[in-house]
Structure formats: structure tokens, C-alpha cells
């Protein structure tokens, strides 16, 4: 016996809104496309990604703190309306 387990480690990411760590599968990936934030639920869009809990509270915190602009390394504020619509549709 080598002492190794066969369980795979679950990757963790930090929510840019509330700054809490969570499993990557529990967070929504967001990418920046032409000055706007776009939801990437499958995680396949190219480019730098930022993660946020799929809740309007975390998204509001990220927008208010300008965390999305900082995560994508841009100076101007980004339009996050598409992400907001995706979060509201996903809410039960």
C-alpha cells in the first residue's frame, strides 16, 4: 500500500464578488468580449476568465467593487447586463 487515494482533487476558484473560495463547478465563469462581460457556463470561451457565484448578490458586489474590471485588467467599467440576465434566469 502506498497510502495514495484514488479520489481526485476538485479545483477551487475564488468568487470575485464575495471573495470566498468554492469548487470550480459551483461558480460561473465570466469572460470579457469587446468591452462586455459574457457568461461562460461551459468554460470553453477563450481568454482570461473570472469566477462569480451564480447569485445576484455576488454579482452586485463584483460590479460595485469594480472587481470585474480589475480581473480582466481593463481601465473602463464593463457592461455586465448579459451576466445579470443569465444569473436571473438560472435562479429558481
Alpha-carbon dihedral angle through residues 25, 31, 38, 58, given to the nearest 10 degrees:
60
Q: Please compute the mean of the pLDDT values over residues 49-60 and round it to a whole number.
A: 95
Span 61-80, pLDDT tens digits: 999 999 999 999 999 989 99
Give the separation between CA 35 and CA 20, rounded to whole angstroms: 26
Q: What is the DSSP letter of 24?
A: G
The C-alpha angle 36, 19, 60, rounded to 5 degrees, equals 45
Tell me the pTM: 0.87
- Domains of the chain are 12-90 (3.30.1230.10)
Residue predicted with more confidence, 25 or 6:
25
Q: What is the mean pLDDT of the chain?
A: 91
Amino acid at each position: 500500500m502506498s497510502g495514495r487515494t484514488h479520489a481526485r482533487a476538485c479545483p477551487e476558484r475564488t468568487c470575485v464578488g464575495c471573495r470566498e473560495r468554492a469548487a470550480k463547478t459551483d461558480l460561473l465563469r465570466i469572460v470579457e468580449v469587446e468591452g462586455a462581460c459574457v457568461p461562460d457556463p461551459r468554460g470553453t470561451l477563450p481568454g482570461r476568465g473570472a469566477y462569480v457565484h451564480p447569485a445576484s448578490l455576488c454579482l452586485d458586489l463584483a460590479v460595485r467593487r469594480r472587481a470585474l474590471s480589475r480581473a480582466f485588467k481593463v481601465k473602463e467599467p464593463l457592461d455586465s447586463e448579459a451576466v445579470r440576465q443569465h444569473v436571473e434566469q438560472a435562479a429558481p
